[in-house]
Amino acid sequence: MEPLFQLSRWAHIAAGFIALFVFWIPLVVKKGGPAHRVSGWIYVWAMVVVSISSFYMGIYRIGFDPQKSGESIAFAWFLIFIAILSGATAWYGIRVLKYKSRVVSHRHPLDLLFPSLLLLAGIGISIYGFIIDFPLLAYFPLLGLFLGGTHLLYWLRKPKLNQHWLMEHITGMMSCCIATITAFTVFGAPRLLHIESTGILLWILPSIIIVPLLIGFTNYYRKKCNPTPEK
């Protein structure tokens, strides 16, 4: 299994750097235009590779690595959570576009499975992080509770806002960006800077920066698409 692990590792690194390079392009180009669609799909497929490779490497570290340690197992669980987070948010960001015309609740099994898995993973891995006193696992997966819960509510409720899909697409893609950048700060940055580890503040910094941007973007489009009637 070692050769497959190394293959997954290099695929993960390559796809991660592609995602880091293109994730900002859909944010700044014309929405719905060719550059937006092409760069968006490149990002999504890069994150598919990141998600699958992360999940495999996490499982390998926990179950098959002969040199595993308590710390490596903890980081393996983080890899698994990143896999679930990136996969679930990318899936959500695409699927809300497919069903943007819906006017009733939506109960497609896969569209409920991914946020449910994200919600449960957030709860379980966060509890595990508190038990072993590992701040990255204790606090970062709490994001999964919020995102998994809001994704489920969106699917199960009848849409009430105009162009509701637009706000949810932004939420899915920017949440996926959190997974991309956080994984880089945890694994990529220390290796590039030749340092052993980084602190909890740097680990959660992408969430601190991107979550307010996400809220700002969604509020802007919510007000733009749903103006308050003049009295």
Query: Is 97 inside any structural domain?
Result: yes
Query: Is 230 inside any structural domain?
Result: no
**Which amino acid would we find at residue 140?**
F
Query: In the chain, where does DSSP find H-type helix?
Result: 2-22, 25-28, 34-63, 70-98, 109-132, 135-139, 142-156, 164-183, 189-193, 200-225
Spatial distance between the Cα atoms of 122 and 152, rounded to a whole number of angstroms: 14
> Do 136 and 186 contact (CB within 8 A), yes or no?
yes
Query: Is 12 inside any structural domain?
Result: yes
Question: How far are the Cα atoms of 84, 103, 109, 168 from residue 163, in angstroms, in the given order?
Answer: 27, 11, 23, 9
By residue range, what is the domain housing residue 49? Answer: 2-225
Tell me the residue length of the chain: 231
Q: Which two tokens stand for residue 95?
A: 């699927």
pLDDT score at 35: 93
Q: What is the mean pLDDT of each run of 10 residues along the chain (231 residues)?
A: 84 89 87 90 93 93 88 90 94 94 93 96 96 90 92 94 89 88 73 58 76 83 77 51
Spatial distance between the Cα atoms of 125 and 75, rounded to a whole number of angstroms: 11
- Reported as half-sphere exposure (CB side, CA atoms, 13 A), residue 168 has a value of 25
Residue 106, phi then psi, degrees to nearest 5: -125, 130
Query: Is 26 inside any structural domain?
Result: yes
Query: Is 139 inside any structural domain?
Result: yes
Query: Is 231 inside any structural domain?
Result: no
> Do 82 and 59 contact (CB within 8 A), yes or no?
no
pLDDT score at 136: 84
pLDDT score at 58: 92
Count of structural domains within the chain? 1
pLDDT score at 32: 83
Query: Is 94 inside any structural domain?
Result: yes
> Do 159 and 102 contact (CB within 8 A), yes or no?
yes
